[in-house]
Amino acid sequence: MELNIKMDILNDYLWESQREYKRWIGVDLDGTLAVHTSWKGDHHIGEPIPEMMERVKKWIKAGKIVKIFTARATKESNKPIIKAWLKKHGLPELEVTNIKDQGMIELWDDRAVRVQKNTGKRIK
């Protein structure tokens, strides 16, 4: 009986570890996709940053999945504000999230610090 339970747990683990996630690129909003100088409230999002906007549009045109990865998504009420900003500036409705999963292949963020995998060493 104990062996069967352990096998069930192992099978569940193997199934979860092999789940396929769609690959996606995360793009931060404030300071990366939109100009950010200081916090002015949930309803204020700065002007678009042209270079990053063009990059995102190219990815979308190439069929890549892009998600807006922002702390603002902590509040569900901020998502429609962000989506309206995206639409106003010529981007399609993108998923807005603050959750990273195994599908994320890149994160573009003004605050991120890159580290060497499995070492904790900063890459300069």
Q: Residues 35-46: pLDDT tens digits?
A: 999 999 999 999
Q: Which domain holds residue 46?
A: 21-108
* 103 in any annotated domain: yes
* 28 in any annotated domain: yes
Report the chain's mean pLDDT, rounded to a whole number.
Answer: 90
* 61 in any annotated domain: yes
pLDDT given for residue 7 in this prediction = 58
What span, in angstroms and rounded, lies between the C-alpha atoms of 70 and 82? 10
* 79 in any annotated domain: yes
* 9 in any annotated domain: no
Q: Where is 79: in which H helix or E strand?
A: helix 79-88
The average pLDDT across 68-74 equals 97
Contact 108, 118 (CB under 8 A): no
pLDDT at 74 over 60: yes
* 26 in any annotated domain: yes
The average pLDDT across 8-36 equals 79
Contact 39, 23 (CB under 8 A): no
Give how many domains the chain has, as a whole number.
1
